[in-house]
Amino acid sequence: MKYPPHHFVKTGHISRCQICNSPKLHLILDLGHQPLCDTLLTKDMLNEPEKTYPLRMMWCEECTCVQIDYCVDGKEVYHLDYPYRSGISKPLADYQKDICLSLIKKYNLNSEDLAIDIGSNDGTLLGGFKREGIRILGVEPTNIAKYANAEGIETVQSFFDIKLSDEIKAKYGKATVITTTNVFAHMQTIGEVITGIYNLLKDDGVFISETHYLLDVIQGGQFDTIYHEHLRTYSLRSLIKLFDQYDFTVTDVERGSRYGGNIRVHITKGKGRPVSPNVLNLLKLEEEAGLDKLETYMQFAQRVQKARLEFMNFLIDTKESGKSIVGKSCPGRASTLLNYYGVDKELIPYLAELSTSLKLGMYLPGKHIPIVNEQIIFKEQPDFIVLMAWHYAEVIMERLKAQGLKSDFVIPLPDLRVVKNSQV
Ligand SMILES: [Zn+2]
């Protein structure tokens, strides 16, 4: 099975579009050299040198895919102790349950059908299928696969490629649906993955990919979703361009609010499949929003640069007036924002995380801000709390206030906003 050579993104500098191979890539934002955002540091690692890599937001004039132009080797990014767990926060767990129910309904899945999730993490999504009696299998390269297996979600601990698709097919048969949530934008081996999925799907099988969405990133000023894990930020147009190069049809698309705005694309095996009007409608919306024009991205960059200045002015003014300001949460995007802005522990002394987080006791890469148990903010009651997971601001503010927090909140993006505790 062959796939276009440019669909194997090589480690190092990338000079052509990862989707369509066009050389017409434009620089939108240079975020400097940055460490890997999810490679949190232990105390001992603070005594060692730290690796950084170029982080630039690029845009392809041909297919409108936004991408970075330096690829870190996947084995370095998704090391065995990669800390992300999808089941850990309730909104995410609920959200994944909804995905299952909607797919079961849309594709009439029953106990004969096999659902495979690639990048299945702790198996939260597959758990939803399992409860409804659908056969399941997870594929997950990191040690999180062990949690999943321990909880009864059968998971192969491996990267997904054509070879693995053959092994799975021989052992479990063909799948009716294959899902990826928040991993398809991350993969270096696009060709291996798409060809492996094709190999493993039934003739009328569907691949459903959910990723953060370019239109939301651009309209929401979300430059902090750009990090080394996210090799690409897809527009619908670029996804269609991608699957045009294979025996697949993009048949439906939905938008949602996860990751601050996401796109769920249904890609059916075979050409000439019936296509939902949602596809044409969203393509039209992308054009109206100017996703095909360089000017749109230049305006985005200006907004980002302005938000940075406003945040830094606020931070410095707050410190100079003797008030206290700390950070809440340490999602991957916090690393992009704080490293680009140049904020270290003198300016934000710690990032508070849930008491169940695997990140506690670690340090933010690059800026070395400690990650601590959030109990501290209820004790210290700082004047301001910066919400690093600002795309979930409303939920977080309500929860913290209900638990007795008196601090005011700082929402850094898309434009700096301070929310008084009394306004929550
Ligand atoms: Zn392109």
Q: Return the number of other C-beta atoms located less than 10 Å from residue 346's C-beta.
A: 9
- How far, in Å, from the CA of 288 to the mean position of ligand 1? 19
CA of 6 to the centre of ligand 1 (A): 11
Could you tell me what percent of the chain has a pLDDT over 90?
87
Q: How far apart are the first and last CA of the chain?
A: 56
Q: 20 C-alpha to center of ligand 1: Å?
A: 4
What pLDDT sits at residue 10? 95
Query: In the prediction, which pLDDT does 78 show?
Result: 73
Mean pLDDT of the chain: 94
Q: Give the global pTM.
A: 0.92
| DSSP for 317-377, written as a single string | HHHHTT--EEEE---HHHHHHHHHHT--TTTS--EEE-TT-TTTT-B-TTT--BEEETHHH
Summarize the confidence of residues 244-261 as an average pLDDT: 91
For domain 310-423, say whether CATH 3.30.980.10 is its number: no
Ligand 1 mean position, distance from CA 384 (Å): 42
Which whole number is the average pLDDT over 228-234? 95
Q: Which of 163, 201, 146 is nearest to 179 (CA)?
A: 201
What sign does the CA torsion over 63, 64, 69, 73 have? negative
Spacing, Cα 22 to ligand 1 middle (Å): 5
- Ligand 1 centroid distance, CA of 386 (Å): 36
Average pLDDT over residues 80-102: 73
270 and 206 Cβ atoms separated by less than 8 Å: no
Beta-carbon contacts of residue 146 (< 8 Å; ≥ 6 apart): 157
Delimit the domains of the chain by residue range: 310-423
